[in-house]
A and B are shown apart, each in its own frame.
Chain A
Amino acid sequence: MKLKDYKHDLNAFVFKMEASAKLLSEPENLSLEEIKLISDIILQNTSTLRLFFECFSTVEKLQEKENRAEIISQPKFRHLVKEVILALDRNASVTEEENRIIFRGNFKTTDQIGKFFLQCLNYIFPEGKINDKEIVLIW
């Protein structure tokens, strides 16, 4: 996984943030609805960017041979996984079982970051099952 593989989507993030900031710099020209929409876009993008970097660094840690069991057993990691799933499908459902979590939803994605998230999950949970409708992760 290399950052340059996600250049298109990262550029899109930069563009969206920059365009949003420019628009918000003259709020008198915007309606309340537009301001709300732009704020949502900023929040959504910052959240996705944060997730992207967190996933990226987790994969890096694993590649550097850090203890997988230790990483995935941390509560914050479980939270991160849930956030990633929700970034793929806001309406995904979650079923937690003893050593596995099952997510159901629409996980079909065409953008680079979406594909990256799926690749990360695949890498971190090699025994799991990932398809367009279901993601099963085994702890």
Chain B
Amino acid sequence: MVKGKILIVDDDREILQLMKITLSKMGYKIETETDPEKALIRSVESDILLVDQLMPDMSGIEFIEKVKQKGLNIPVILMTAYGNLEDAVTAMKKGAFHYITKPLNFEELDIIIQQALEVSRLREELNQLKSILGTQIIAESPQMKSILETAKKIAPFDTTVLITGESGTGKEMIARFIHKNSLRKDRPFVAINCGAIPPELLESELFGYKKGAFTGANTDRKGLIEEAEGGTLFLDEIGELPLNLQVKLLRVLQENEIKPLGSSRPKKINVRFIAATNRDLKKMVEEGKFREDLYYRINVLPIHIPPLRKRKEDIIPLARFFIKKYCSKYGIQPKTLSRKAIEELLSYPFKGNVRELENIIERSVLIHEGDVIEEIPLPVSKRYTTPQELKPFKQAKEEFEKNYLENLLKQTNYNIAQASKISGITRAQIYRMIKKYNIHI
């Protein structure tokens, strides 16, 4: 079993070759790179980065800074010249996991790498636990980062929030995130899918009932609004709420009180409401299918979650997260994604969004027996890109540039020099574009 994947960055090819042989014999999967810029792009696929301090184009310390700027949480071990304590101290200050002096002692290096892997593993476990508790959201894309920032800002206020987005984009996750970051975090978070409960039962589910309110009501029963007392009620698929209940919900929001079925006395409540929908509520208002007053009442703080295909930067981190989740669930050894699998995931439209990605990854984890998921079992009929919409010129141009660059890099087997020659774009410009479009190579 592979102990961990290490990317070694050094301008000396012979050192790289010897380190690769030695560390491979110790059970590590070794990748090497002489160009630090390329290494930065490749680093996302590694568990640990081992980097030389003295390189002609970029020092090891500068490399560490860039890794941190990219927001990568990968431990970096710096290789410094013997006796150069100054570099070692600077590297540690910049966020290096450790340093090792040259000439290297492989036994010592092995211990440091194992420590780094252990820290990395614990960090991931912590993230997983946080996620299970509903407080962590995988967000690498600028859109999702901005959503989380907004959510964090609005969390402490009791205002109603309307979360919109396609099915499977993670609306409930954002609702839970808001709850966990609010002053109500120690009180209940209650979720109800308005579209999943038959309309005739929805009222009693939401508002509760008194004994004898209808046939079969043998005892008093609290509704979900009351269950969420002091906490947050998440009304998913609010667009499916029947018109008669929309009126009642509006009253609850305005008066902060409910009247259970069969009761004539209103009850004061203290609940924060977060609603979500994948439908166009404004259009529904125009069509008379959704009450305008309720729409404005719930749409105080709107949050829109873009579909996964429009925030591709999240696909691979999410996929890796789900791989860990399902490997752990099924007691399977950890797996990684091959470059081909990464490309397949990045070019798939994910109409079912994160939910679909999770299902696909669960299937992949179960199907593939080795350490690496070589291929993703995507439905053949769905391997196409989404239909072209008429977009603003700037957006269309950027999309073209990104696609062009992805194809160019694929065709040149990610050889930047060759890509530069074919395209007539300078290497520096290609690197800038790779960074701009966050292309994983």
A window 16-39: CB within 8 A of B: 16, 18-20, 22-23, 29-30, 34, 37-38
Total A-B pairs in contact (CB under 8 Å)?
Answer: 49
- At the interface, yes or no: A122 with Cβ under 8 Å from chain B? no
Residue of B nearest to A34 (CB): B21
Q: In the complex the two chains form, is B14's CB within 8 Å of A11's CB? A: no
Known: A45-B14, A110-B11. A15 touches B21 (CB 8 A): no
Q: In the complex the two chains form, is A15's CB within 8 Å of B81's CB? A: no
- At the interface, yes or no: B17 with Cβ under 8 Å from chain A? yes
- At the interface, yes or no: B15 with Cβ under 8 Å from chain A? yes
- At the interface, yes or no: B201 with Cβ under 8 Å from chain A? no
- Compute how far the CA of A38 lies from the CA of B17 in the bound complex, rounded to whole angstroms: 9
Residue of A nearest to B10 (CB): A12
Q: In the complex the two chains form, is A12's CB within 8 Å of B102's CB? A: yes
- At the interface, yes or no: A62 with Cβ under 8 Å from chain B? no
Residue of B nearest to A9 (CB): B12
- At the interface, yes or no: A8 with Cβ under 8 Å from chain B? yes
- Compute how far the CA of A19 lies from the CA of B15 in the bound complex, rounded to whole angstroms: 9
A2 to chain B, nearest CB (A): 16
Q: In the complex the two chains form, is A22's CB within 8 Å of B22's CB? A: yes
- Compute how far the CA of A29 lies from the CA of B21 in the bound complex, rounded to whole angstroms: 10
Known: A8-B54, A11-B81, A29-B25. A41 touches B18 (CB 8 A): yes
Q: In the complex the two chains form, is B21's CB within 8 Å of A38's CB? A: yes
Known: A22-B22, A23-B22, A38-B21. A12 touches B11 (CB 8 A): no
Known: A11-B102, A12-B102. A19 touches B19 (CB 8 A): yes
User: Which A residues touch B82, using CB under 8 A?
Assistant: 11
- Compute how far the CA of A2 lies from the CA of B11 in the bound complex, rounded to whole angstroms: 23
- Compute how far the CA of A20 lies from the CA of B25 in the bound complex, rounded to whole angstroms: 13
Q: In the complex the two chains form, is B14's CB within 8 Å of A16's CB? A: yes
Q: In the complex the two chains form, is A110's CB within 8 Å of B17's CB? A: no
User: Which B residues touch A30, using CB under 8 A?
Assistant: 21
Residue of B nearest to A14 (CB): B103
A28 to chain B, nearest CB (A): 11
- Compute how far the CA of A44 lies from the CA of B14 in the bound complex, rounded to whole angstroms: 10
A68 to chain B, nearest CB (A): 33
Q: In the complex the two chains form, is B15's CB within 8 Å of A12's CB? A: yes
Q: In the complex the two chains form, is A8's CB within 8 Å of B81's CB? A: yes
Known: A12-B12, A14-B103, A110-B56. A19 touches B81 (CB 8 A): no
The contact size tier of chain B is 10 to 19
Known: A7-B81, A11-B82. A41 touches B103 (CB 8 A): no
User: Which A residues touch B15, using CB under 8 A?
Assistant: 12, 15-16
A window 89-139: CB within 8 A of B: 110-111
- At the interface, yes or no: B104 with Cβ under 8 Å from chain A? yes
Residue of A nearest to B103 (CB): A15
Q: In the complex the two chains form, is B22's CB within 8 Å of A19's CB? A: yes
- Compute how far the CA of A23 lies from the CA of B25 in the bound complex, rounded to whole angstroms: 10
A17 to chain B, nearest CB (A): 9
Q: In the complex the two chains form, is B81's CB within 8 Å of A23's CB? A: no
- Compute how far the CA of A23 lies from the CA of B102 in the bound complex, rounded to whole angstroms: 18
A11 to chain B, nearest CB (A): 6
- Compute how far the CA of A16 lies from the CA of B17 in the bound complex, rounded to whole angstroms: 10
B250 to chain A, nearest CB (A): 71
User: Which A residues touch B18, using CB under 8 A?
Assistant: 16, 19-20, 23, 38, 41
A93 to chain B, nearest CB (A): 23
Residue of B nearest to A45 (CB): B14
Contact indicator per residue, chain A 61-95, by CB within 8 Å of chain B (1) or not (0):
00000000000000000000000000000000000
A window 37-63: CB within 8 A of B: 37-38, 41, 44-45
User: Which A residues touch B14, using CB under 8 A?
Assistant: 16, 41, 44-45
User: Which B residues touch A110, using CB under 8 A?
Assistant: 11, 56
- Compute how far the CA of A20 lies from the CA of B18 in the bound complex, rounded to whole angstroms: 7
User: Which B residues touch A20, using CB under 8 A?
Assistant: 18
Contact indicator per residue, chain B 361-386, by CB within 8 Å of chain A (1) or not (0):
00000000000000000000000000
B15 to chain A, nearest CB (A): 6
B376 to chain A, nearest CB (A): 32
A: residues with CB less than 8 A from B are: 7-8, 11-12, 14-16, 18-20, 22-23, 29-30, 34, 37-38, 41, 44-45, 110-111
Excluding A11-B81, A19-B106, A41-B14, 8 further A-B contacts by CB distance (< 8 Å) are A11-B82, A12-B15, A15-B102, A18-B103, A19-B18, A19-B19, A22-B22, A22-B106
| CB-defined A-B contacts under 8 Å, sample of 24 | A8-B81, A11-B82, A11-B102, A11-B103, A12-B12, A12-B103, A15-B15, A15-B102, A15-B103, A15-B104, A16-B14, A16-B18, A18-B103, A19-B18, A19-B106, A22-B22, A23-B18, A23-B21, A23-B25, A34-B21, A110-B11, A110-B56, A111-B12, A111-B56
Closest 5 A-B residue pairs measured CB to CB? Answer: A15-B103, A110-B56, A19-B18, A41-B14, A14-B103
